[in-house]
Amino acid sequence: MRKLRAAWVRLGGWWGRERRERELREELEAHFQMHVEDNMRAGMSHASLLKTMLFGVGTHDAATFATVPLVLASVALLAAYLPARRASRMPPVDALRAD
């Protein structure tokens, strides 16, 4: 009897999950549409919206838009390099034993 009850609970979770996902998607779409309408009513274009979000950065600030990708790329390379360097110092047998 306990297994039958557990099966019914699992089936109910599957059916409920689809409904919850649909309701969440509808709610997010409604909020997004509300924000778009608010911005349209305020007369904001994409450039002016960007200007309000970035403090002290202009919409055509070339130095910032060139520096940010370089900094992000260097952080990503460093994040990949450090563990690889550490792994290269370890003997392969020890690495396989750890798995």
List per-residue pLDDT tens for the chain, 99 residues long: 666 666 666 666 666 777 778 888 888 888 888 877 777 777 766 666 666 666 677 667 788 888 989 999 999 999 999 988 888 888 888 877 776
For 10, the token pair is: 């699992």
What's 72's DSSP letter? H
The whole-model pTM stands at: 0.40
Longest dimension (CA), the chain: 68
pLDDT for 32: 81
Lookup result for tokens 């997004």: 32
For 14, the token pair is: 């599957």
